Amino acid sequence: MYSVNVRDHFMIAHSFRGEVFGPAQRMHGATYVVDLEFRRAELDADGIVVDIGLATQVLHAVLGELNFRNLDEEPRFAGKNTTTEFLARFIHDQVAQRLAAGELGAQALGIDYLRVVLNESHVAWAAYESALPGAR
């Protein structure tokens, strides 16, 4: 399996509901470093996994929808705890939709698998990964 990773970051504010979150129930900020990994069994006709430039642009666009936002005020997240795990899945799904729509180029449709890692700090992170529909 071949893989390519691109990285970016974003900053948000949010709060959580539930005693399990302790002081994080109050409004707080987070800065995430995001690693987006594309995997495929075989290289495309150009000998690459994905166009790194396009992958970087797509990740930046997806994160731009979150960056400098208070997620508690975003209607699409109403009633949700926007945990690191939740956000990893959200970003994964947004990238997968853009990939399927051709934003990463026609050759990228051969990508089998995506993994998104949100690094909260140098000691804590969460991830979401899955095979893509139609993966071989």
pLDDT at site 76: 95
Among the listed residues 69, 49, 129, the one whose alpha carbon sits nearest the alpha carbon of residue 95: 129
Q: Domain for residue 46, yes or no?
A: yes
pLDDT at site 134: 67
For residue 87, the enclosing domain spans 2-16+28-131
What does each C-alpha distance from 55 to 15, 19, 89, 99, 123 come to in angstroms? 30, 38, 17, 9, 26
Local confidence pLDDT in tens for the 136 residues of the chain: 999 999 999 999 999 999 999 999 999 999 999 999 999 999 999 999 999 999 999 999 999 999 999 999 999 999 999 999 999 999 999 999 999 999 999 999 899 999 999 999 999 999 999 999 865 5
Q: Domain for residue 23, yes or no?
A: no
Helix (H, G, I), strand (E, B) or coil at 126: strand
Q: Domain for residue 21, yes or no?
A: no
Q: Domain for residue 55, yes or no?
A: yes
Q: Domain for residue 99, yes or no?
A: yes
What does the buried/exposed string (b/e) look like for 51-61 if buried means 16 or more CB atoms within 10 Å of the residue's CB?
beebbeebbee
What does each C-alpha distance from 2 to 31, 43, 81, 82 come to in angstroms? 29, 7, 34, 31
pLDDT at site 8: 98
Q: Domain for residue 42, yes or no?
A: yes
pLDDT at site 135: 55
Count of domains for the chain: 1
pLDDT at site 133: 83
pLDDT at site 12: 98
CATH number of the structural domain spanning residue 68? 3.30.479.10
Residue type, 129: E
